[in-house]
Amino acid sequence: MGGSPRQPAEVGRTFDAMARGRPINGWSVELARPVPVRDGTELRTLRDACTMVLDGVPEAKQLRPEWQHAAKLLMAAAESGKSDDVEAATKQIELALLLNGLLLLR
């Protein structure tokens, strides 16, 4: 066996670390494209996406793989600012929103 499984509380802290636990200056970086949300908002920056996940997705749902992967990609994009990382984070946010019925399809 590779290691001990992560505990739900530990996994749930990914989002807190993403926005609150570490000072990262790259949260103002724009997403690869605006992402429309069903509530009428539009995510334009990494900070917008992070805030939407932290405040708009119930904590229990944040434990789902699509949101966990989004958190990791958002953090990587905020840390690096590289366009490839921003594109990957944007795609994953779109996928997570789609899988949870939150993406506004145009």
pLDDT digits (tens, 9 = 90+) for 46-93: 999 999 999 999 999 999 999 999 999 999 999 999 999 999 999 999
pTM for the complete prediction?
0.80
Query: Whole-angstrom Cα distance, residue 95 to residue 88?
Result: 11
Neighbouring residues of 83: CB distance < 8 A, sequence distance ≥ 6: 32
- The two structure tokens encoding residue 70: 């989004």
pLDDT digits (tens, 9 = 90+) for 21-37: 555 679 999 999 999 99
Least confident span in 14-23, 41-50, 89-98: 14-23
